[in-house]
């Protein structure tokens, strides 16, 4: 396996708060990697540093062996890192198709097939029938999925999904898991997720974050067996599995 | 409607507008010929403004400085250096583009209200610069272009800017060119990027767009078009004066655009036309004609927040550029 992304002693401070407090993290190419942890653990902040939405206070980030710590966000996207927002951030006044097309006409790809790639992305997530609808008029679940479609339309090497299943129905979640497996054929996926069933069914690797630090990293089995993780966060997991 | 047909249709509508302008010169009396010439030049200004405001969502309150850059770039070179009309005209446009680029480098670091204030302040500075160098500009009083510089040779034709029909057709030519430029810029990929920035800039950045560079390009183009209007205005009407750099000339294109419909190609043209005649007619009856503009603006924002063409587009033809 080759390493796609690493961070070294990555820190993000908001005033006095160390939202990310020195994280060494490695992401292997081709995996589905889940990032879990309690609310306020720093997960969104951490991936925001990876995609460049936030600037790191200290430490460094390497993508495909090159340092990208100082690289502006738009360049990282072109380098192959796509991020979908935790708080849905679509163009609500534009049509669903336009939303996907804006993502698809990514400068790295040939211009002429942008519209085709936008269509393909919408088909993959099952939104093709809504192409001409105004994005803001979609049901919440569909808006979340559109957010994912925009990430897919970028055809990234690394797709970062921030709580993509939040607010989805059970059926939608099931379809979503299928979609992620399909995307994973070409794309490495870093997934922030609270839904443990989704995490356990999708992830090959899990990292646990708490108070800005990486608490543990391992396979789903290892994480479930980890006592420190149990006490910090996963107390609920067995109940959920039993239920 | 599929996108090919809609493109042909919208091209047709725009062509019809240009052709009606062309036909009007055969029926209009001298006074209206002159008025329409001014309207067409001001419409170019409004189209330039709208590129930034309507499509990209950046509200500049200082566009008079770009109009003035064109006006003074053309007028001063004619007056002081005796440049020929075509050279001076192009120089005016280049002045506007350069000013747009430089102002953009600074002002585009801000957004929203801060951007409005920064552009407003720069326009104020431009005005003061014109007044400060009164030895060369004659400030408020202005300069009248000498008569010998009102004609020029181009491609073997000799063209006289004292002839009102010639001026009318030149203005129409420039307006057509501007509409074409805007049309080409706002459709397709580039236009989509502009609208994306207008709708949600931070999201657009996270989709791989260098939004700063795009905004800088648009501001430069917008300034160049505004300067083209100013440049042509100076040369056709043979006068430059600092009143064209005042805040009123920054607000006017905003009014025209709001009235006609921001983010449409025909909106600013229609808006300029209507507002111009509205003021023209109102000023026959009252000296408080500015009150009329104020009332129109209030009504507009209350009932037609998207302007006339914005409303039409939303209701009937979403494909209109
Ligand atoms: N822009 C900001 N300014 C100040 N503090 C912030 C900012 N963004 C996040 N924080 C703080 O940093 C900490 C980590 O927040 P973050 O959003 O990364 O958590 P999270 O793990 O994504 O939580 P959740 O599961 O609720 O999404 C929190 O205490 C939060 O209040
Ligand atoms: Mg979060």
Question: Pseudo-torsion of CA B294, B300, B303, B309, nearest 10°?
Answer: 170
Q: Do A122 and A116 form a contact (C-beta atoms < 8 A)?
A: no
- Give the pLDDT score at B280: 85
Query: B236-255 in b/e burial notation, b at 16+ Cβ within 10 A?
Result: bbbebbbbbbbeebbebbbb
Residue among A18, A36, A43 whose CB has most ligand 1 atoms within 8 A, to mutate:
A43
Q: Using a CB-CB distance cutoff of 8 angstroms, which residues of chain A are in contact with residue B213?
A: none
Residue B137 belongs to what H/E stretch? helix B134-137
Decide if B186 is inside a domain. Answer: yes
Given CB atoms, is A124 within the 8 Å cutoff of chain B? no
The predicted-structure confidence for B41-95, as pLDDT tens digits, reads as follows 999 999 999 999 999 999 999 999 999 999 999 999 988 888 888 999 999 999 9
Decide if B116 is inside a domain. Answer: yes
Decide if B114 is inside a domain. Answer: yes
3-class DSSP assignment, residue A216: strand
Contacts of B100 (CB under 8 A, 6+ apart): B66, B219, B220, B221, B222, B223, B224, B227
Residue among A20, A42, A160 whose CB has most ligand 1 atoms within 8 A, to mutate:
A42
- Distance, in Å, from the CA atom of B149 to the CA atom of B159, rounded to the nearest integer, reads 11
Q: Do A161 and A203 form a contact (C-beta atoms < 8 A)?
A: no
Decide if B282 is inside a domain. Answer: no
Q: Do A163 and A192 form a contact (C-beta atoms < 8 A)?
A: yes
What residue's CA is closest to ligand 1, atom 24?
Answer: A39
- What is the nearest CA distance from B213 to chain A, expressed in angstroms? 11
CB contact under 8 A, B196 and A106: no
Listed as ranges, residues in chain B with pLDDT below 70 are: 1-3, 315-321
What residue's CA is closest to ligand 1, atom 8?
Answer: A45
Q: Using a CB-CB distance cutoff of 8 angstroms, which residues of chain A are in contact with residue B200?
A: 89-91
Return the biggest CA–CA distance within chain B. 60
Decide if B209 is inside a domain. Answer: yes
- Give the pLDDT score at B316: 64
Pick the closest to residue A183 from A31, A5, A27, A26 (CA basis).
A31
Given CB atoms, is A241 within the 8 Å cutoff of chain B? no
Decide if B274 is inside a domain. Answer: no
Q: Which residues of B touch A (CB under 8 A)?
A: 189, 192-193, 195-196, 199-200, 202-211
- Distance, in Å, from the CA atom of B65 to the CA atom of B250, rounded to the nearest integer, reads 8
- Distance, in Å, from the CA atom of B251 to the CA atom of B241, rounded to the nearest integer, reads 17
Distance A193 CA to ligand 1 centre (A): 15
Provide the pairing of β-strand A205-210 with A213-218: antiparallel
- Distance, in Å, from the CA atom of A21 to the CA atom of A58, rounded to the nearest integer, reads 9
- Write out the residue range of the structural domain in which residue B101 sits: 3-246
- Distance, in Å, from the CA atom of B43 to the CA atom of B280, rounded to the nearest integer, reads 16
Environment class of residue A124 by beta-carbon count within 10 Å: exposed (0-12), middle (13-18) or buried (19+)? middle
- Distance, in Å, from the CA atom of A211 to the CA atom of A21, rounded to the nearest integer, reads 8
Residue A66 belongs to what H/E stretch? strand A66-67
**Token pair for B287:** 């000296």
CB contact under 8 A, B206 and A98: no
- Give the pLDDT score at B3: 63
- Give the pLDDT score at A16: 87
Q: How far is CA A96 from CA A100, A105, A128, B201, in A?
A: 6, 15, 9, 17
Q: How far is CA B31 from CA A18, B38, B237, in A?
A: 71, 11, 14
Number of C-beta neighbours around residue B286 at 10 A: 10
3-class DSSP assignment, residue A210: strand
- Give the pLDDT score at B197: 94
- What is the nearest CA distance from B204 to chain A, expressed in angstroms? 8
Q: Do A161 and A85 form a contact (C-beta atoms < 8 A)?
A: no
**Token pair for B153:** 């040779």
Contacts of A113 (CB under 8 A, 6+ apart): none
Distance B36 CA to ligand 2 centre (A): 58
- What is the nearest CA distance from B162 to chain A, expressed in angstroms? 48
Question: Residue B90 maps to which CATH number?
Answer: 1.10.3470
Q: Do B61 and B49 form a contact (C-beta atoms < 8 A)?
A: no
Q: How far is CA B86 from CA A113, B35, B71, B96, B149, in A?
A: 42, 23, 13, 16, 11
Who lines ligand 1 at CB under 6 A? A 14, 17, 19, 37, 39-45, 86
CB contact under 8 A, B206 and A90: no
Tell me the count of A-B CB pairs closer than 8 A. 56
- Distance, in Å, from the CA atom of B48 to the CA atom of B253, rounded to the nearest integer, reads 9
Cα dihedral sign, B95-B101-B104-B106? negative
Beta bridge partners of A205: A33
CA A44 distance to own-chain centroid:
9
pLDDT tens, per residue, chain A with 243 residues: 699 999 999 999 999 899 999 999 999 999 999 999 989 999 999 999 999 999 999 999 999 999 999 999 999 999 999 999 888 789 999 999 999 999 998 766 676 788 889 999 999 988 999 998 999 999 888 898 899 999 999 999 999 999 988 888 888 899 889 999 999 999 999 999 988 889 999 999 999 999 999 988 999 888 888 767 776 665 554 444 443
HSE-CB for B240 with a 13 A CA cutoff: 32
What residue's CA is closest to ligand 1, atom 16?
Answer: A42
Q: Which pTM value belongs to this model?
A: 0.88
- Give the pLDDT score at A191: 94
Smallest CA–CA distance from B198 into chain A, residue: A91
- Distance, in Å, from the CA atom of B53 to the CA atom of B306, rounded to the nearest integer, reads 12
Total number of domains in chain B: 1
Decide if B290 is inside a domain. Answer: no
- What is the nearest CA distance from A205 to chain B, expressed in angstroms? 26
Decide if B92 is inside a domain. Answer: yes
């Amino acid at each position: 396996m080759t390493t796609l992304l690493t961070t070294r002693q990555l820190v993000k401070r908001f005033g006095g708060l160390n939202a990310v407090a020195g994280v060494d993290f490695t992401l292997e190419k081709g995996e589905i990697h889940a990032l879990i942890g309690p609310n306020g653990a720093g997960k969104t902040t951490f991936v925001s540093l990876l995609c460049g939405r936030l600037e790191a206070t200290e430490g460094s980030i390497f993508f495909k062996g090159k340092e990208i710590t100082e690289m502006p966000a738009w360049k990282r996207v072109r380098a192959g890192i796509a991020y979908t927002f935790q708080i849905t951030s679509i163009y609500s006044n534009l049509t669903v198709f336009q939303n996907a097309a804006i993502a698809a006409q990514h400068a790295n790809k040939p211009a002429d097939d942008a519209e085709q790639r936008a269509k393909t992305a919408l088909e993959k997530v099952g939104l093709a029938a809504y192409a001409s609808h105004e994005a803001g008029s979609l049901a919440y679940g569909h808006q979340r999925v559109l957010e994912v479609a925009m990430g897919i339309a970028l055809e990234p090497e690394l797709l970062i999904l921030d709580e993509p299943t939040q607010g989805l129905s059970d059926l939608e979640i099931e379809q979503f898991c299928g979609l992620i497996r399909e995307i994973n054929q070409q794309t490495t996926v870093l997934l922030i997720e609270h839904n443990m069933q989704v995490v356990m069914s999708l992830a090959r690797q899990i990292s646990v974050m708490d108070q800005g630090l990486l608490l543990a990293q391992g396979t789903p089995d290892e994480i479930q067996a980890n006592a420190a993780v149990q006490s910090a966060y996963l107390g609920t997991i067995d109940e959920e599995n039993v239920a | 409607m599929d996108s090919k047909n809609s493109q042909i249709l919208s091209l047709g509508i725009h062509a019809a507008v240009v052709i009606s302008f062309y036909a009007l010169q055969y029926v209009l009396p001298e006074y209206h010929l002159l008025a329409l010439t001014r309207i067409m030049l001001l419409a170019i200004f409004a189209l330039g403004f709208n590129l930034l405001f309507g499509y990209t969502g950046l509200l500049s309150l200082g566009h008079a400085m770009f109009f003035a850059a064109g006006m003074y770039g053309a007028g001063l070179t004619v007056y002081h250096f005796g440049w020929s009309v075509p050279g001076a005209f192009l120089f005016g446009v280049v002045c506007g583009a350069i000013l747009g680029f430089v102002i953009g480098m600074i002002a585009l670091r801000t957004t929203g209200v801060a951007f409005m204030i920064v552009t407003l302040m720069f326009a104020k500075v431009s005005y003061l610069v014109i007044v400060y160098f009164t030895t060369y500009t004659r400030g408020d009083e202005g300069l009248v272009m000498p008569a010998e510089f009102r004609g020029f040779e181009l491609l073997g034709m000799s063209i006289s800017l004292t002839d009102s029909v010639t001026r009318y057709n030149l203005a129409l030519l420039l307006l057509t060119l501007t509409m074409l430029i805007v049309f080409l810029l706002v459709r397709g990929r580039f236009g989509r990027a502009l609208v994306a920035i207008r709708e949600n800039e931070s999201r657009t950045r996270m989709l791989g767009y260098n939004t700063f560079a795009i905004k800088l390009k648009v501001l430069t183009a917008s300034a160049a078009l505004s300067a083209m209007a100013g440049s042509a205005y100076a040369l056709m009407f043979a006068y430059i004066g600092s009143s064209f750099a005042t805040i009123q000339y920054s607000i006017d294109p905003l009014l025209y655009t709001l009235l006609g419909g921001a983010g449409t190609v025909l909106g600013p043209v229609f808006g300029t036309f209507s507002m111009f005649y509205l003021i023209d007619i109102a000023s026959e009856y009252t000296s408080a004609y500015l009150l009329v503009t104020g009332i129109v603006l209030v009504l507009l924002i209350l009932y037609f927040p998207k302007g006339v063409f914005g409303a039409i587009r939303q209701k009937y033809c979403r494909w209109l550029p």
